[in-house]
Amino acid sequence: MKVPEGYLFNGINCGLKKKSRDLGIVISENPARVVGVFTTNEYKSQSLLVCKNHIKRGYARALIVNSGNANCATGERGYRTALNICAKLAQKLDIKTEEVLLASTGIIGEPLPENKIINSLRKLLSSVDKNKVMDFASAIMTTDTYPKIAARHLNCGGMILGVAKGAGMIAPEMATTLCFLFTDVEISRSVLSSVLRQAVDITFNRISVDEEQSTNDTLLCFANSMRGVRIDTAKKIAEFKKAISGVLQDLAYMVINDGEGATKIIKVVVKRARNSNIAEKIARRIAGSVLFKSSMYGNSPNWGRIISAVGSLRVGIGEEFDVYYGREKVVTNGISLYKKKGKVKKYLEDNFEVDITVDLKKGKADYFLYTTDLSPEYVRLNS
């Protein structure tokens, strides 16, 4: 696998999980500029709090990530644990503690076993390699069934590599999403930050397995300038933005595709709303409806569940709306075309990826969102 210049990776088992990898590291040969996007949940992992503090510096040299434990609801003690891990790793790398970023994912509410991680640092560091992306990607997995890696090459030289973990959990573990991007171009933090936020908004912010929000969500983007390519013109920035959106789109798709128990990927599209708030609200309500999601699991052409879900919002969309399953119009001006049920059932049975469209015919705002169905397997996995 081709990877950006100047990054070394590794992933090992340190004993948080029984056998599989649970501790990953990425080291940048240069101090890398770095920007981040974090969960807006009021309760945050202690690891995330330390990471947010360190990222203020604007650059970093190393990233350490553990799976199997979220280090959340662990109070002062959890904060000190996270800080100790950074300090010990910094010492071994002969860098500053604040140059280490970290993330944790796994169960909430249990102390993070500090010593297991610290005692494994030597082993972790002894075999870092630019070709060990897959080891890092598998070390950050929780109940993902496969590692998630995506990349884009830039015409102006340089590349972007992305690694993510998805929303999966085994009882009693908690779903979290982590995503890390690495590029070897030179780009200012302010441009990187703006580009990243725009890309996240149309990719990671458009997927939802269960409308639950993690305490640990962390997305970091490292840019280490190793390639000698500067992203500084409007044209180059546009290309970079397209590439980073592409990487995030691929990863988001992999995450939703690997959603717990999912048997379907559903694209919910809301068209011609009065404003984008309403469009987003409606798309999220449909994507969050357990009744709608259950019907999708059963390939059941039950658009009554879309109507009742949208109606429960009381956002005043009136009676003129249409609903489509794929290209099949099933509701026209608020009236059900029930004779389409057979056709729609076949559409649902025949497709793994399906489109649901609500056309409000009120204005110009559109919104889309990817979600999954809700299966008995999802409940079983999370029970």
Distance CA 373, CA 364 (A): 28
Distance CA 343, CA 122 (A): 61
Q: If DSSP codes are grouped into helix, strand and coil, which group holds residue 36?
A: strand
Shortest reach from residue 372's CB to a second copy, in Å: 12
Pairing of strands 23-38, 218-223: antiparallel
* Beta carbon nearer to a second copy, 136 or 321: 321
Sheet containing 328-332: which strands, arranged edge to edge? 207-208, 365-372, 265-273, 353-359, 322-325, 328-332, 335-336
Distance CA 166, CA 256 (A): 7
- Which residues, in sequence order, are bridge partners of residue 322? 359
* Beta carbon nearer to a second copy, 34 or 207: 207
CB 217 within 8 A of CB 178: yes
Shortest reach from residue 227's CB to a second copy, in Å: 39
Shortest reach from residue 332's CB to a second copy, in Å: 10
Catalytic (active site) residue 176? yes
Q: Would you tell me which residues interact with a second copy (CB under 8 A)?
A: 40-44, 70, 72-75, 107-111, 169, 171-172, 174-175, 210-215, 289-291, 294-295, 297-298, 300-305, 307-317, 331, 333-336, 338, 374-380, 382-383
Active-site residue, from 176, 183, 215, 371: 176
* Beta carbon nearer to a second copy, 25 or 167: 167
Shortest reach from residue 180's CB to a second copy, in Å: 21
* Beta carbon nearer to a second copy, 120 or 214: 214
DSSP E strands in the chain: the ranges are 7-12, 23-38, 59-67, 100-105, 148-153, 159-165, 178-183, 207-208, 218-223, 265-273, 322-325, 328-332, 335-336, 353-359, 365-372
Q: How far is CA 97 from the centre of its chain?
A: 27
Shortest reach from residue 115's CB to a second copy, in Å: 17
* Type of residue found at 72: C
* Active-site residue set: 176
